[in-house]
Structure 1
């Protein structure tokens, strides 16, 4: 393999974190420079900005490369085929395990009512297999690695960065794609262009070799990003629709940047595929993998074996030289008494020395021993001179993203209104992010105050029986309260309009507390898949007519209120809102940034939110809206989709049960009480106490968060 170029591997490991953020400034400039860098002048790609011509070129290139890999694979013996399948599967893992993840942040509370964004979200939801756990395209790839016995670093996918069997060059393209996903406000068009290229290419060419070796171990049609998955339309059709939607919205500039992203992806695929093909061709020679193994083991091995001589020289010295050139040592080893050329079963190197009583017991893994045996088996006889030792590949072109710090720290929001405006986007600066985390800590500190004495509806302890029985009981209480209050006077028209307007900063960001669960690591997980499904429902499943913020705007319009766009500064500064109307929305926007740090609290908040109106509040609101001739669509849709049997309330309860059951299995019962306390705090955080002591608790929690940064 190549000499290490840790940049791509390190970037991949960093940007795969669900709470990762990338600064603007110099790093954004570096990303843009990478995306616009042209490296192919061989005439195979059309010049200019003709997207259709580029699509045709990508499809033709993919077909030719698939044939190239099959022609490499077909003539080989079974053992060599298996070696190449294993190597190709590992090489494709950094990209394939995260298939579609670069789309994860394209939607945000500030653009959640934009039809173009809904098209992007539909594409992403399809990749995730929305509605089912572990149903993403990346999850479909995992059985391939498991069947080949190389999946030990595949879950979570961030572990791949530590897998030294995977050349650094195989991380380069996915590292760039995942880095762009953390700057969606700046690079949406380029992301969609690169994504379209990958759909047009379809199944990665090298995977045609793996599919030939393992035709039935997984659903290869799901691994192929161009195909249909969890949608009536194919991945390619959805990608085209997303590209067309953005081009309609943003015009020629977006169209040109889409081409930039497409061209970059095709060039990156060419470069990577050529290098992978060279690697697999070299690996047909057993000496190539043996040389790799020696390079990988040389550093630790050179600390030992000072007393064992190989051709008059300590083995430790030979191993020290292996870090740069293993050929001389392999030649000497092939001539030694440790090796019987062509006869691995008779060679002490892979028998007595590595057996239970041998001096090298467990030094080599079973996979390593297969490499050694294959090398010995390929030796035709006592070597004269130096046998082929697997020359190293040329180093992959390094990925140099170095500007990991902002040009400046920024400043925190001056008030709630500015915080609301700034937090609507995915990207931020360190000062805004600190503000958000401290705001959450303060809000939760207030929510914890007097928790055990407040009569919080959630039970004091969670049991393996789960929350479904409690959920049904709460629904009965809501219904009973509604019936008992049916004779109460409805609010006046003016009061109804005022409350509807004051709720707009909250309701127009419906689902904002779940935005962290759009991240690939959570969106298809056992705990997070239902939270993403809830988010997907809140935004209308990709359809503007079902989008909850748009439905709410229709009600406001009927009331004679036409608000500025949610993402605009004018919305946050609109004089018709009271400052207090931004307190809870800023909490939603803040906690949604930290899906891992505050996962128990988000789960509790989600349950409180989804259950809050079902059976009672929504029904009363419907009566008031109907009385004054306003549409009841918004409350009607929530009273159905939030239901406690098969709707969002049920999903919310199930997510908590899954989380706590998994926690108990992983950490034991001792971790349960603390986690349940946090879930209860999250539940109460929808409507925390407002008294003086509660406010004091909030200030203490905020100060503690500030001092423990």
Structure 2
């Protein structure tokens, strides 16, 4: 029998994972958390160093876009050439590997835009242009309609989706090389510091849309053209009849440049050049990996390395060429080549004949010692490797040159260097909480504030005239919602003859409500987070947030419409995000208490999800059918615009509007609780929803406030 060749085990399978690549995987797992808080300090410095490290010439954004498109076209040809002439089973290997390699970026496509809007800038036309881009990526208005959700069927149809949802689980998938997380991890890390990186994020985003469908994915699309809607996966395309993703991105870039000037253009170009360089590096590494994976020895060596640690605990009583198999497996963790060569010479393997090889027949059968050790996917790898052998191996060939390691991300820099100082009072808290970024001290203040407010809201709830029923039923809240609307209407009709407030009283209440109303939607800002914004529970909350800010149009933006009324009344207030606004002496301190609660609870969409859902229902239902109608009469009487209350009385309606969506979100949430955790968990969750509902207008007596202080103290102790 002729001497066979056991090809050199690929470098990626034989080298120890680098600390740098592992860091990228870990960072990815942290920054996909909806409550992630990226600290200031050395980590930001590292990100800036990374961004400014590209050696590509600038040449302006138009030139950069052409360069990105040209690279994409050329790189696509490289992947097409790689696919040509391969056997079907080898093409299948490449399809699966490519789909997994692209998953960290594609499952979160557009997520880096998730925090670019905030209560402090929600009336900024440039931010509205960014929000329009993000809403298109999400497929706003429908659950599971995001570009990332369109990628999920690719993994599902290939039977490799077990770690895909939620995105944090993806870091546990050892089939994905650590380096494939790096680009997405940095983009998502920047998204958690929008005040520091907004122009760079937009530049990187424009680059990705100029590239279009990732070149590697054209290989998957060619093999599986109907596996998903590839037009949605491609970030450059339009959603429905809307503008293309590239056009929306370009509009957002132009709006930011118009607002911030040439410095913004420079920083946008920096982000673009970094993203293009990072894409080139990543795609080149992936192409090398796929080229190596065409050889079955590559996947076999990789499989042995990944399984060796667990296997080395056993097999002390089995010898392979005079050594315990457990010892071979220990060595295999860093270099699988010697064991592969020995295994190919053993009685467990018939080179070229997997069907006659004990390694994939008797040993893994129901009575075999390795039953269920290998998954069906693993067994396919072993069979292909055996089928590629032509006879007993002689010697161990040298490995090829190793892949260049990914450049490092220092995890030690994740620790905040300074906890900061908590807000001195409610006005300072309002100002600091308007932005997405914060310090540990501000974040701790917000959490304590929420616990205190909810403790006050829970006080005496069972003895109160709580509108929500004591128990939730599977029939849902829609019938209750209609009853409440009828009550609001009846109360309005009965009080129609009541005297309206005086002009001065109307103006005063309008001004005092400004800190609240100018941050419309602040309580649900956490549901702009990518996975929440497209989920069955959260998509309607994002849709509500999108409506509050005018669907990307300044003339429909609720804060701007409210400012028009204030100007009619003679009050041209400072910008909401400015310190001057929070310090304005025309506001009473008490006018900031509820807004600070909104701003605080909006930071914790996971921790306080039931309470946010209840608060959202209370907020959306509060004025429909009654209060808005009465406010309209007062505004009209004194000659002020009624547009603000008119638009809320329509968009908040109980049939197809925000109130209906709020009720449906609660029903969806509680139904999921029932299905996964049972009746006991359902009762606890419903009580939390009821507390959230009451938190819009909690009791204000001494005992209630005392209960709130006690809850806040307990929260501090529990940290």
Smaller-chain TM-score bracket: over 0.9
**Residues 1:302 and 2:315 are matched in the alignment:** no
Q: Which of 603, 623, 645 is the equivalent residue of 1:635?
A: 645
Hey, what's the Cα distance between the residues in 2 that align with 1:479 and 1:21?
Answer: 44
Contact 1:331-1:387 at 8 Å conserved across structures: no
State the partner residue of 1:70. Answer: 80
**CA offsets, 1:532-591, max 9 Å, x none?**
000000000000000000000000001111000000000000000000000000000000
Pairs within 5 Å for 1:148-227: 148-227=158-237
Contact 1:22-1:182 at 8 Å conserved across structures: yes
Structure 2 residue runs without a partner (length 5+): 1-11
State the partner residue of 1:25. Answer: 41
State the partner residue of 2:675. Answer: 665
Secondary structure at the aligned position of 1:354 is classed as: coil
**Residues 1:474 and 2:478 are matched in the alignment:** no
**CA offsets, 1:468-497, max 9 Å, x none?**
000000000000000000001111110000
Contact 1:3-1:395 at 8 Å conserved across structures: no
Structure 1 residue runs without a partner (length 5+): none
Hey, what's the Cα distance between the residues in 1 that align with 2:384 and 2:398?
Answer: 14
Shift of 1:31: 1.2
Secondary structure at the aligned position of 1:352 is classed as: coil
TM-score by length of structure 1 reads 0.98
**Residues 1:331 and 2:341 are matched in the alignment:** yes
**Residues 1:3 and 2:12 are matched in the alignment:** no
State the partner residue of 2:242. Answer: 232
**CA offsets, 1:47-93, max 9 Å, x none?**
23511111100000000111110110121110000000000000000
State the partner residue of 1:592. Answer: 602
Pairs within 5 Å for 1:273-422: 273-386=283-396, 393-422=403-432
State the partner residue of 2:142. Answer: 132
Q: Which of 484, 495, 498 is the equivalent residue of 2:494?
A: 484
Hey, what's the Cα distance between the residues in 1 that align with 2:241 and 2:341?
Answer: 57
Secondary structure at the aligned position of 1:106 is classed as: coil
Shift of 1:408: 1.2
Contact 2:58-2:273 at 8 Å conserved across structures: no
Shift of 1:154: 0.1
Hey, what's the Cα distance between the residues in 2 that align with 1:669 and 1:390?
Answer: 59
State the partner residue of 1:602. Answer: 612
Secondary structure at the aligned position of 2:414 is classed as: coil
TM-score by length of structure 2 reads 0.97
Hey, what's the Cα distance between the residues in 2 that align with 1:421 and 1:581?
Answer: 13
Moved more, 145-154 or 403-412: 403-412
Hey, what's the Cα distance between the residues in 2 that align with 1:407 and 1:296?
Answer: 36
**CA offsets, 1:246-292, max 9 Å, x none?**
00000011100000000000000000000000000000000000000
Q: Which of 608, 627, 631 is the equivalent residue of 1:617?
A: 627
Shift of 1:391: 7.4
Contact 1:290-1:389 at 8 Å conserved across structures: no
**Residues 1:542 and 2:555 are matched in the alignment:** no
**Residues 1:502 and 2:512 are matched in the alignment:** yes
Hey, what's the Cα distance between the residues in 1 that align with 2:509 and 2:526?
Answer: 28
**Residues 1:270 and 2:280 are matched in the alignment:** yes
Hey, what's the Cα distance between the residues in 1 that align with 2:126 and 2:549?
Answer: 12
Distance 1:139 1:390, change over 3 A: farther
State the partner residue of 1:34. Answer: 50
Shift of 1:231: 5.9
Hey, what's the Cα distance between the residues in 1 that align with 2:151 and 2:416?
Answer: 36
Secondary structure at the aligned position of 1:402 is classed as: helix
State the partner residue of 1:446. Answer: 456
Shift of 1:385: 2.7
Shift of 1:229: 1.4
Shift of 1:388: 8.1
Hey, what's the Cα distance between the residues in 1 that align with 2:414 and 2:168?
Answer: 19
State the partner residue of 1:703. Answer: 713
Hey, what's the Cα distance between the residues in 2 that align with 1:595 and 1:708?
Answer: 19
Moved more, 67-76 or 131-140: 67-76
Hey, what's the Cα distance between the residues in 2 that align with 1:154 and 1:406?
Answer: 30
Shift of 1:407: 2.2
**CA offsets, 1:13-46, max 9 Å, x none?**
01110000011122211111111112x5xxxx5x
Contact 1:600-1:676 at 8 Å conserved across structures: yes
Q: Which of 221, 230, 245 is the equivalent residue of 2:255?
A: 245
Hey, what's the Cα distance between the residues in 2 that align with 1:482 and 1:391?
Answer: 79
Contact 1:445-1:701 at 8 Å conserved across structures: yes
**Residues 1:146 and 2:159 are matched in the alignment:** no
**CA offsets, 1:298-328, max 9 Å, x none?**
1121222122111122111211111221111
Secondary structure at the aligned position of 1:422 is classed as: helix
Contact 2:107-2:151 at 8 Å conserved across structures: yes
Hey, what's the Cα distance between the residues in 1 that align with 2:311 and 2:122?
Answer: 56
Distance 1:111 1:231, change over 3 A: farther
Contact 2:447-2:601 at 8 Å conserved across structures: yes
Shift of 1:384: 2.7
Hey, what's the Cα distance between the residues in 2 that align with 1:303 and 1:476?
Answer: 69
Contact 2:58-2:64 at 8 Å conserved across structures: no
Hey, what's the Cα distance between the residues in 1 that align with 2:584 and 2:59?
Answer: 42
Contact 1:287-1:388 at 8 Å conserved across structures: no
Hey, what's the Cα distance between the residues in 1 that align with 2:59 and 2:500?
Answer: 60
**CA offsets, 1:601-658, max 9 Å, x none?**
0000000000000000000000000011100000000000000000000000000000
Alpha carbon RMSD of aligned pairs, Å?
Answer: 1.1
Hey, what's the Cα distance between the residues in 2 that align with 1:427 and 1:229?
Answer: 30
Hey, what's the Cα distance between the residues in 1 that align with 2:103 and 2:58?
Answer: 32
Shift of 1:381: 2.0
Secondary structure at the aligned position of 2:412 is classed as: coil
Moved more, 456-465 or 378-387: 378-387
Hey, what's the Cα distance between the residues in 2 that align with 1:50 and 1:196?
Answer: 13
Secondary structure at the aligned position of 1:550 is classed as: helix
Number of aligned residues: 703
Secondary structure at the aligned position of 2:40 is classed as: coil
Hey, what's the Cα distance between the residues in 2 that align with 1:498 and 1:703?
Answer: 35
Contact 1:413-1:432 at 8 Å conserved across structures: yes
Contact 2:544-2:658 at 8 Å conserved across structures: yes
Hey, what's the Cα distance between the residues in 2 that align with 1:307 and 1:231?
Answer: 67
Contact 1:413-1:419 at 8 Å conserved across structures: yes
Pairs within 5 Å for 1:526-537: 526-537=536-547
**CA offsets, 1:682-705, max 9 Å, x none?**
000000000111011001101101
Shift of 1:397: 2.8
